[in-house]
C-alpha cells in the first residue's frame, strides 16, 4: 500500500523484492522500459504495478492471443441470445412455414454462460491486481464491471434453482456491458454523449414546448361541430385526442407523414396548410438542425480532447521509458536530462517491444543515425513519431524484359488506364444483362432465347481471361497476387470458366430450364465489382 502511494518512477521497481546482482536489476530496467514504450504506442495509462512478476502478467494480459480470447468470450456470451429460450432462430421468418425452433435443454447455455462469467471474473481480477487497490477504487468502469458480474452470477444461480423456468433474466440486459467495457472507443462515445446531454437537453426542451404548443393549437383549430362531423376528416384521422395529435405532429417533425397529415384539412380549406408549414419550418428546419449542430460540435470538441489525451499518454509513456533508461546510464546525483540514453542501451529494449516490423526498422534506423552519442529527452520523444506514419506496402518487382516490344506491352498492361478499360468493359457487361432482362421480363423462362446473351457472355469471359493473363505478364504472378482486387477478379474469372465448362449449352440457348438460365447472370458479379472498384 505504501508503495502505491509513492510517485510511479520514485517507488521501488521491485515492489519490495531484493534483486541479487546488477544483471537482474538491468533486466528489470529493460522490462520496465519495454512496458512503458508499449503503453505509449497503445495510448495506455502507465499507472500500474512495475515489479518483475506484474510486468510479465501485464504483457501477457495485453498480448494479441489473450485479447483475442477475451474478444471471443464476449462474442460467445452475446451470441447465446440467438439460441436461448425463447429462441426465434429458424430457417424462415414466415409463420406459415416456420418449423419449431430448437430449444436447448436446461443447463446447456447456462454452462457456457458460467464459463464466460468465470473468464470475466479472471479478467477483472487481473485488471484489479495490475492497477492496484488505489486506482481500482477510483476506476468507475472496473467497479461497474464488478457489480455487473455480481448481479449476473446471482441471477444465474436463481435461474438454475428454478430449473430455467424464471419469467425474467436480468443478466441478459447486462450482457452488452461486457462489450462496452472492453472497447475504448465505446467508452469514449458514451463519455461524449454524457457531456453532450446538457446542451442537447436545452434544445430537447424547446422541441417539447414546440410540440405541445402546436398540438394544443391543432386541437383547437380542427374542432368537430354537430353538423360538420362527416366533413372534418382531419380531426377524426389525426387530431382525435391529445395523444394521437401529439404523435401525428411528432411524426411530422421527421416529415415521415408529410403531406398526408394535412391533406384532409387542406381539402376543406387551403389556409389550414399554413399551420403545418409553420410547424415544419420551426421544428424540422430550425430546431432539428440546431440539435444536429450541437451534437456535431460536441463530438468534434470531444474528438480534439481525446486526441490531446492520447498524445499526452504517448508522451508520458515515452518520457517514463526515458527516465528509466537514463537513470541507469548516469552516475548517482546526475539528472536524466544531462545523461541521455545511449543507442546501445535502447536497442535491446526496442527488440523486445511488441511493434510492427516496419515501424521497428524505421525507429532502429533513426537510432543508428545518432552514431553512438546519447539521445536527449526531446530526441527520444521524436523516435516514436515513426509509429504514426502510414505503412507503405512494398509491391514485388515487375519482371524485366529485354525486348522493346515486350517492354511496351508491359507498360500498357500495367498502366492504370488498362484498369479503367476493364471497368468500362465490365459496365458494358452489366448493361447488356440488364437490357436482356428487361426485354425478356414478359416471357416465361422456357420461351426466352438466350443465344445472343450467351454469345456476349462468352465474349466478356474471354476478355476477363485475357485481362488476367496480361496483368500476370505485366506485373508477374507475385505482383498480381499482391493486389486484393486482382485476386478477387481472378477467382471470379476462374469460377465463370468452370461454370461455362459445366453448362456449355446454356449460353447457346439449347437448355432453358430454370436452374440453368440462372447461370446466365453469373458475369454480373464480376462487372459489378469492377464497376465499383
- Domain check: are 143 and 85 in the same one? yes
Domain that holds residue 200: 191-305
Q: Is residue 334 part of a domain?
A: no
Q: Is residue 209 part of a domain?
A: yes
* DSSP state string for 465-533: HHHHHHHHHHHHHHHHHTSHHHHHHHHHHHHHHHHHHH-TTTTTTS---HHHHGGGGGGGHHHHHHHH-
Q: Is residue 357 part of a domain?
A: no
Q: Is residue 27 part of a domain?
A: no
Q: Mean per-residue pLDDT for 172-194?
A: 86
- Domain check: are 203 and 115 in the same one? no
- Domain check: are 297 and 207 in the same one? yes
Confidence of residue 184 (pLDDT cuts 50, 70, 90): confident
Look at residues 258, 277, 305 and tell me which one is the last residue of a structural domain. Answer: 305
Question: Tens of pLDDT along 455-469?
Answer: 888 899 899 999 999
Question: Tens of pLDDT along 357-412?
Answer: 777 888 888 888 877 688 888 888 888 877 776 555 677 888 888 889 999 999 99
Look at residues 136, 157, 182 and tell me which one is the last residue of a structural domain. Answer: 182
- Domain check: are 169 and 197 in the same one? no
Look at residues 268, 289, 305 and tell me which one is the last residue of a structural domain. Answer: 305
| Whether 458 contacts 507, CB under 8 Å | yes
- Domain check: are 106 and 177 in the same one? yes
- Domain check: are 67 and 177 in the same one? yes
Q: Is residue 457 part of a domain?
A: yes
d(Cα 353, Cα 383) in Å, to the nearest integer?
14
| Whether 326 contacts 381, CB under 8 Å | no
Q: Is residue 452 part of a domain?
A: yes
Cα angle 289-292-297, degrees, rounded to a multiple of 5:
125
- Domain check: are 449 and 429 in the same one? yes
- Domain check: are 172 and 200 in the same one? no
Query: Which run of H or of E encompasses 250?
Result: helix 242-253
- What CATH number did the domain enclosing 246 receive? 1.10.287.70
- Tally of CB atoms within 10 A around 289: 10
Residue 114 has pLDDT above 90, yes or no: yes
Q: Is residue 10 part of a domain?
A: no
Query: Which run of H or of E encompasses 153?
Result: helix 140-161
Q: Residue 375's beta-bridge partner residues?
A: 341
- Domain check: are 203 and 160 in the same one? no
- Which residues neighbour 356 within 8 Å (Cβ) at sequence distance 6 or greater? 387, 391
Cα angle 472-475-477, degrees, rounded to a multiple of 5:
50
Q: Is residue 347 part of a domain?
A: no
- Domain check: are 207 and 174 in the same one? no
Q: Hey, what's the cell of 438?
A: 428487361
| Whether 420 contacts 427, CB under 8 Å | no
Confidence of residue 21 (pLDDT cuts 50, 70, 90): low
- Domain check: are 72 and 178 in the same one? yes
Question: Tens of pLDDT along 121-130?
Answer: 999 999 999 9
In terms of residues, how long is the chain?
533
43: buried, middle or exposed (CB in 10 Å: 19+, 13-18, 0-12)? Answer: middle
- Domain check: are 167 and 206 in the same one? no
Residue 46 has pLDDT above 70, yes or no: yes
d(Cα 492, Cα 533) in Å, to the nearest integer?
14
Residue position matching grid coordinates 537514463: 326
* Dihedral angle computed from the Cα positions of residues 186, 189, 195 and 201, in that order, rounded to the nearest 10 degrees: -110
| Domain tally, the chain | 3
Amino acid at each position: 500500500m505504501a508503495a502505491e502511494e509513492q510517485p510511479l518512477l520514485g517507488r521501488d521497481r521491485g515492489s519490495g523484492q531484493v534483486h541479487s546482482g546488477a544483471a537482474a536489476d538491468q533486466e528489470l530496467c529493460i522490462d520496465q522500459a519495454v512496458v512503458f514504450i508499449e503503453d505509449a504506442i497503445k495510448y495506455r495509462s502507465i499507472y500500474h504495478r512495475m515489479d518483475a512478476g506484474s510486468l510479465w502478467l501485464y504483457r501477457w494480459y495485453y498480448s494479441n492471443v489473450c485479447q483475442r480470447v477475451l474478444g471471443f468470450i464476449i462474442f460467445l456470451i452475446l451470441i447465446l441470445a440467438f439460441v436461448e429460450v425463447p429462441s426465434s432462430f429458424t430457417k424462415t421468418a414466415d409463420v406459415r412455414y416456420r418449423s419449431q425452433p430448437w430449444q436447448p435443454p436446461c443447463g446447456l447455455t447456462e454452462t457456457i454462460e458460467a464459463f464466460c462469467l468465470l473468464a470475466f471474473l479472471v479478467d477483472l481480477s487481473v485488471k484489479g491486481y495490475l492497477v492496484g487497490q488505489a486506482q481500482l477504487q477510483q476506476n468507475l468502469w472496473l467497479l461497474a464491471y464488478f457489480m455487473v458480474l455480481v448481479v449476473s452470477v446471482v441471477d444465474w444461480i436463481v435461474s438454475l434453482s428454478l430449473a430455467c423456468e424464471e419469467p425474467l433474466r436480468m443478466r441478459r440486459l447486462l450482457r452488452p456491458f461486457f462489450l462496452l467495457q472492453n472497447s475504448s472507443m465505446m467508452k469514449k462515445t458514451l463519455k461524449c454523449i454524457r457531456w453532450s446531454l446538457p446542451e442537447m437537453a436545452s434544445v430537447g426542451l424547446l422541441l417539447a414546448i414546440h410540440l405541445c404548443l402546436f398540438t394544443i393549437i391543432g386541437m383547437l383549430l380542427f374542432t368537430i361541430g354537430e353538423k360538420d362531423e362527416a366533413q372534418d376528416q382531419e380531426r377524426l384521422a389525426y387530431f382525435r385526442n391529445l395523444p394521437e395529435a401529439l404523435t401525428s405532429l411528432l411524426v411530422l417533425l421527421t416529415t415521415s407523414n408529410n403531406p398526408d397529415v394535412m391533406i384532409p384539412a387542406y381539402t376543406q380549406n387551403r389556409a389550414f396548410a399554413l399551420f403545418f408549414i409553420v410547424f415544419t419550418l420551426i421544428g424540422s428546419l430550425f430546431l432539428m438542425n440546431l440539435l444536429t449542430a450541437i451534437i456535431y460540435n460536441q463530438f468534434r470538441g470531444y474528438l480534439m480532447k481525446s486526441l490531446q489525451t492520447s498524445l499526452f499518454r504517448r508522451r508520458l509513456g515515452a518520457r517514463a521509458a526515458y527516465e528509466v533508461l537514463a537513470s541507469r546510464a548516469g552516475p548517482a546525483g546526475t539528472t536524466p536530462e544531462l545523461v541521455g540514453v545511449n543507442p546501445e542501451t535502447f536497442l535491446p529494449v526496442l527488440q523486445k517491444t511488441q511493434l510492427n516490423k516496419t515501424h521497428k526498422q524505421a525507429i532502429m534506423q533513426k537510432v543508428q543515425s545518432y552514431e553512438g552519442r546519447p539521445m536527449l529527452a526531446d530526441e527520444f520523444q521524436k523516435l516514436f513519431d515513426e509509429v504514426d506514419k502510414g505503412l507503405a506496402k512494398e509491391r514485388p518487382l515487375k519482371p524485366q524484359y529485354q525486348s522493346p516490344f515486350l517492354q511496351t506491352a508491359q507498360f500498357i498492361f500495367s498502366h492504370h488506364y488498362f484498369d479503367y478499360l476493364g471497368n468500362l468493359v465490365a459496365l458494358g457487361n452489366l448493361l447488356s444483362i440488364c437490357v436482356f432482362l428487361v426485354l425478356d421480363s414478359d416471357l416465361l423462362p422456357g420461351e426466352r432465347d438466350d443465344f445472343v446473351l450467351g454469345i456476349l457472355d462468352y465474349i466478356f469471359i474471354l476478355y476477363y481471361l485475357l485481362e488476367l493473363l496480361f496483368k500476370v505478364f505485366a506485373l508477374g504472378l507475385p505482383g498480381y497476387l499482391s493486389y486484393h482486387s486482382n485476386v478477387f477478379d481472378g477467382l471470379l474469372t476462374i469460377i465463370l470458366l468452370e461454370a461455362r465448362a459445366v453448362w456449355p449449352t446454356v449460353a447457346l440457348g439449347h437448355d432453358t430450364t430454370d436452374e440453368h438460365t440462372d447461370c446466365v447472370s453469373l458475369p454480373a458479379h464480376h462487372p459489378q465489382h469492377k464497376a465499383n472498384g
